Amino acid sequence: MPKKLLLFCLLVGSAFLPAQLLAQGQSKPATEATRQVLSENVAALDFADQRDFEDARRGLIAPLPDQGRIVGPDGKETWNLDQYRFLTQKGSETCPATVNPSLWRQARLVMVDGLFKVCERIYQVRNADISNMTIIEGDTGLIIVDPLVSAENAAAALKLYYAHRPHKPVKYVMYSHSHVDHYGGVEGVTSVEEVQAGKVAILAPKGFMEAAVAENVMAGTAMSRRAMFMYGTTLPPSPQGHVGAGLGLKNSYGSKGLIPPTDLIQNDGESRNLDGLSFVFLLAPNTEAPAEMHWYIAELKALTAAENCVHTMHNLYTLRGAKTRDPLKWANALEATLARFGDKTEVLYGMHHWPVWGKERVRELLTRTSDLYRYIHDQTLHLANQGLTANEIAEQLHLPPALAKTFALRGYYGSLNHNSKAVYNLYLGWFDGNPAHLYPLPPVAQAKKYVEYMGGSQAILERARADFARGEYRWVAEVLNQLVFAEPKNTAARELEADALEQLGYQSESGPWRNFYLTGAQELRQGSFTLPKNRPQNNQAQHLPLDLYFASLGIRLDGKAAWGKTLTMRILVPDEKQEWLLYLRNAVLHAEQGHTETKADLTLTASKREVMALFEKLLTPAQAVAKGLLQGESVKLQEFLPLLDNFTPDFAIVEP
């Protein structure tokens, strides 16, 4: 596939920028009101408890070399921990006033990097990416679990392992689930050629490929733009800026790929003997990911619940945008795992963060995590059935003390506030039943009316400054958002809204909340993000099934521009052994497999790669004709291709 063929629908997690592109902030100090909020928020937590720090450092063999800097074969930096040494340097035990102390604690734990021994035959490389790479030693080779986001980082992690352990060949790669941080770096530990030759097998849960390439297809560009806010990819690392994502430090900036599985786990309880070790698998679909699995290794008494049990409350709804996850299925998967393996397990290791050891602690973490998601589910619906709306529930819902005081369940990545809204939306949708909310004005028109009713911009600014001085940052951000949408060039409004968002970011325990607030403040002060010209390669697109690819073309179609236009195109794809009929009718693009007898305006006979290149406008109709790929009325195709928009994730969010 041509390197330029980057489907933005698959760029979530790939929009992370190298250090030289990070904007320098114009941050301001924490206000007294923020200091007071932080003091009250963390008063109930036991910061003297150092057990997590002991566990995070347990089994350390060696830190990442070169001060945690990873550089790819092309000389481009994909990882650099040195920028985050403010989290670990002398005096970092004291939290700065610009970071929530609970989040600061989590960020310092995440910064513990290197190669670790989990137990006999299980090793992990941590903080070489947002996720962990686990290396399991078979009798004659290695089983690599979840090879990070980028090939460069996965290769560096394996190199670190080989520097301290025997140089056994990689025989298996396992994907625990279908998110890019658990398979994107696969070509750093093996190759397509080795897999095709049968030297390396790849295991994954049922439905993995469909989930891996499909979850972000339909709204992928919007997700990618929002992911820049969620992960704070344009924020400079500093106590006033980026301190991590809660789930890990950040995503690496490198080449991402996907080698399809050769062996799928189809049913609960399936077992595999992998190079002398006995694995038993439990499927956990539609939990943290559409396709996910847990497994137990009998000889090692070692269990993983993939990303369903880590050291943070996770997202039932991820702020970058995605379908809501089902908390009941999540809780049930953990309970099933606990019931089957809880009494046998001596160590529970995850795909993020650090392990826990001992049967009692394993059972405690699995139990409390399961109870967390079930409580959020049950109590959200309890309040909804009393007539409360999503926003009202989010303000009233609190965890019981036993769960709230558990650091592993704190909202470093998800949050109780937005997870409860996710449950409400899962069952009841976006509408709260109030008819005044059924047909509101669009944002700009609404904002202009608000400004008019409030007496104009100067009156709003005067009141907002007074509210800011009282520490009412939520309201200041809300009301000044209206003024910015009504008057985008009102510098005073932009600055004051940015100041309010910044204080909210400093107060946030959730890494994504902090990143959203601070990125919003940054863009209000400096202008919206501009997409860099040179972006890392993402070659996952070649694995998109043609049915999903043609569906994505329908989304790219400019419906209004297509009014009255028609096209019927037969597409023959020999390398996929597929035949398709693509036709435009009533400004809707249809794709049906077969129907080769239908009369068509033109016929395309090409490989899947060439088909995609044509619709990505990397291969022109004239070039396709010259290569003998296209027969018929090529002028019809020339008229059709301009109707397909190319989306880029650089649209405005905090301004119209």
Show the tokens assigned to 64. 């990442």
Q: What count of other Cβ atoms lies within 10 Å of the Cβ of residue 632?
A: 16
Check residue 628 and give its pLDDT: 96
Q: Alpha-carbon distance 616 to 645, whole Å?
A: 10
What structural domains does the chain harbor? 11-24+35-286 (3.60.15.30), 545-643 (3.30.1050.10)
Positions in the chain whose pLDDT score sits under 50:
1-24, 536-537
In contact, 27 and 98? CB cutoff 8 Å: yes
CB 268 within 8 A of CB 294: no
Asked if 347 and 119 count as a contact pair (C-beta separation under 8 A), the reply is: yes
Name the burial class of residue 194, with classes exposed (0-12), middle (13-18) and buried (19+) by CB atoms within 10 angstroms of its CB.
middle
* Beta strand ranges found along 262-338 (DSSP E): 263-265, 271-274, 277-283, 293-297, 302-304
What count of Cα atoms within 13 Å lies in the side-chain half-sphere of residue 358? Answer: 4
| DSSP secondary structure of 163-211 | TTS--PPEEEEE-SBSSGGGTTTGGGT--HHHHHTTSSEEEEETTHHHH
The predicted pLDDT at position 42 comes to: 82
Burial of 74 (0-12, 13-18, 19+ CB in 10 A): exposed
Is 79 strand, coil or helix? strand
What's the pTM value of the predicted model, to 2 decimals? Answer: 0.94
Residue from 469, 367, 464 nearest 408 by CA? 367
Q: What was the pLDDT predicted at 539? A: 54
Position 36: which residue type?
Q
Q: What is the pLDDT of residues 368-392, one digit of tens each?
A: 999 999 999 999 999 999 999 999 9
Instruction: Supply 500's token pair.
Output: 């309010």
What amino acid occupies position 80?
A: N
The DSSP symbol for 68 reads: G
Question: Would you state the pLDDT for residue 1?
Answer: 30
Residues 251/240, Cβ–Cβ less than 8 Å: no
What pLDDT is stored for residue 213 in this prediction?
A: 82
Whole-number Å distance between alpha carbons of 272 and 242: 42
CB-based contact 154:185 (threshold 8 Å): yes
Pair type for strands 69-71 and 77-80: antiparallel
How far is CA 118 from each of CA 59, 60, 115, 124, 326, rounded to the nearest angstrom? 6, 9, 10, 7, 31
| Amino acid at the residue 6 | L
Cα–Cα dist 340/334, whole Å: 10
- Identify the pLDDT of residue 334: 98
pLDDT of 529 = 75
Residue with tokens 């809660």: 246
What single letter denotes the amino acid at residue 8? F
pLDDT of 541? 63
Task: Kindly write down the DSSP assignment for every residue of 431-498, as one continuous string.
Answer: --S-GGGTSPPPHHHHHHHHHHHTT-HHHHHHHHHHHHHTT-HHHHHHHHHHHHHH-TT-HHHHHHHH
Helices 359-384 and 416-428: angle between axes, nearest 10 degrees: 60
